Amino acid sequence: MKETYVACEPGKTKVSPEIAALVENRKPGHALDAPFYISPEVFEADMKLIYGQHWIYVAVESEIPEPGDYITVDIHRNSVVVVRDDDNAIKAFHNVCRHRGSRLCNEHKGSVGNIVCPYHQWTYDLEGKLLFAEHMGDDFDRSRNGLKSVHLQNLGGLLFICLADSPPADFDEFKAAMEPYILPHQISKTKVAAQIDIVEECNWKLTIENNRECYHCAANHPELTASIFEYGFGYQASPSNQAMLESYDQLVLERSKDWEGGYGLPSIEIEHLDGRITGFRTQRLPLDQHGESETLDAKIASKKLLGDFTRADLGALSLWTQPNSWHHFMSDHIVTFQVFPLSAERTMVRTTWLVHQDAVEGVDYNLDNLTAVWNATNNQDRHLVEISQKGIHSDAYVPGTYSPYTEIYVEKFCRWYIERLTALINA
Ligand code: FES
Ligand code: FE
């Protein structure tokens, strides 16, 4: 019988010899072979070994501001409830009843006193404890039938979950490095101004690869490049752009000195992508025009600045995480992105815009202005990844060469992906 991908037993996972060979033979500096983007079997491996074993960014704290507020997120077959309990602690549970497995919360978001199964009304408190289960007899032990918890980490208001029994231990290092950058933006005092899900007809890795380079930005993103400098997103000096990059580096240096020294805001780049399990990169970068925000005129979109900020020209703090998120923190708003694979060739991108909790729509901000740049950019990116996915189906497709100047972080993502698969296949 042909060996197919199976998760055998805890700690032991294998893939088919075909997938193992693909992983082993990946050519550095090149795009991945076609099956990585189109094979349902590789997709199953990705869900088990990448999304099932790493810290996945799923939500932002301000989506569940009050006790009892919850959201559900689906990571392939696994639905997870993220809920704020009565003590304001945030917990995550498998969205599966311990009786006969019914899905408990069937909306994307809501508010509950307890979690009540719609099937036979088993009732769990917000800490996952089974409170009521009728007709189960005296011998039934409720204490052994609480909800299965899921590991959760809160990094300055960004919520990450890990489905593995033993999550990667280096999250603490990530958190210690990133919180000084993120905390001044005070996510806990923001509210969700907009959240938009789009579905891209492509493999999730194309979505991430596209996000890890700005090679395509000048030709495709007029709204985004009105404020961002495309060479701020991973360009390295090549003979043709050396002078431009030198002057940009000078601008970054001057602005960082001002933000760090004059304003106490950590800004310098941290790149922890190589050899990391929880890989990430961050940097606060200057913006063009007025330098305030990722809007069409680069001026703030919301008059109520975040946190204790007293000035608007703080550029954009970017954070990119492996495997599924990117974020932009500005003085007036935050835009944050999650990538949820739906199948080998479908991917959901969730974009959330946060403003100060006291900002009033129509008074302090206009929703169309707030969302204009990233709505346009998301749609442009959707088109790009979808035509990429189509091209990869061709018999003529062979993995092409990445630019050593503008696709360094695409290569780093692919290297991370292959290294993680290799490590887990051989675990
Ligand atoms: Fe949930 Fe029966 S399946 S109470
Ligand atoms: Fe793009």
Q: Please provide the size of the chain in residues.
A: 427
Give the relative orientation of helices 204-211 and 408-425 as an angle to the nearest 10 degrees: 140
Both tokens of 254, joined, read: 């001057």
pTM of the full structure = 0.95
Question: What is the position in ligand 1's atom list of the atom closest to the CA of 133?
Answer: 4
Residue 319 to residue 328: CA distance in whole angstroms: 7
Helix, coil or strand: residue 115? strand
Across the range 132-157, mean pLDDT stands at 97
pLDDT in tens, 279-329: 999 999 999 998 999 999 999 999 999 999 999 999 999 999 999 999 999
Ligand 1, pocket residues at CB < 6 Å:
97, 99-100, 102, 117, 119-120, 122
| Residue 4 pLDDT | 37
How confident is residue 34, by pLDDT bands cut at 50, 70 and 90? very high
* Helices H / strands E in the chain, number of each: 9, 19
Q: Where in the chain is the domain with CATH 3.90.380.10?
A: 177-425
* 369 contacts 295 by C-beta, under 8 angstroms: yes
Q: Please report which ligand is nearest the Cα atom of 228.
A: 2
Q: Please report which ligand is nearest the Cα atom of 230.
A: 2
Question: What is the position in ligand 1's atom list of the atom closest to the CA of 122?
Answer: 4
129 alpha carbon – ligand 1 mean position (Å): 14
Task: Tell me: pLDDT of 13 over 50.
Answer: yes
- Run of H or E residues at 190: strand 190-200
Residue 387 to residue 381: CA distance in whole angstroms: 10
115 alpha carbon – ligand 1 mean position (Å): 11
- Tell me which of 79, 95, 102 to substitute to probe ligand 1's pocket, judged by most ligand atoms within 8 Å of the beta carbon: 102
Complex ipTM more than 0.90, yes or no = yes
In Å, what is the CA distance from 408 to each residue of 24, 162, 267?
21, 27, 21
Which residue's structure tokens are 């993502």? Answer: 413
Q: Please report which ligand is nearest the Cα atom of 221.
A: 2
Round the average pLDDT of the chain to a whole number and report it: 94
Across the range 249-262, mean pLDDT stands at 92
CA-proximal residue: ligand 1, atom 3 (nearest): 100
Q: Of 4-18, 71-85, 413-427, which range is least confident? A: 4-18
427: exposed, middle or buried (C-beta count within 10 Å: 0-12, 13-18, 19+)? exposed
- Run of H or E residues at 306: none
Q: Where in the chain is the domain with CATH 2.102.10.10?
A: 10-153
Output the CATH code of domain 177-425. Answer: 3.90.380.10
Task: Tell me: pLDDT of 11 over 70.
Answer: no
Both tokens of 420, joined, read: 């993680």
Output the CATH code of domain 10-153. Answer: 2.102.10.10
Report CA dihedral (241, 243, 244, 246) to the nearest 10 degrees: 120
121 alpha carbon – ligand 1 mean position (Å): 6
Between 224 and 238, residue with greater pLDDT: 224
Both tokens of 241, joined, read: 């752009």
Residues with CB under 5 A from ligand 2 (ion): 381
| Residue 188 pLDDT | 97
Q: Omega of the bond prior to 341 within 30 degrees of 0, cis?
A: no
Report CA dihedral (369, 263, 266, 181) to the nearest 10 degrees: -50
Question: What is the position in ligand 1's atom list of the atom closest to the CA of 102?
Answer: 3
Both tokens of 130, joined, read: 């089974």
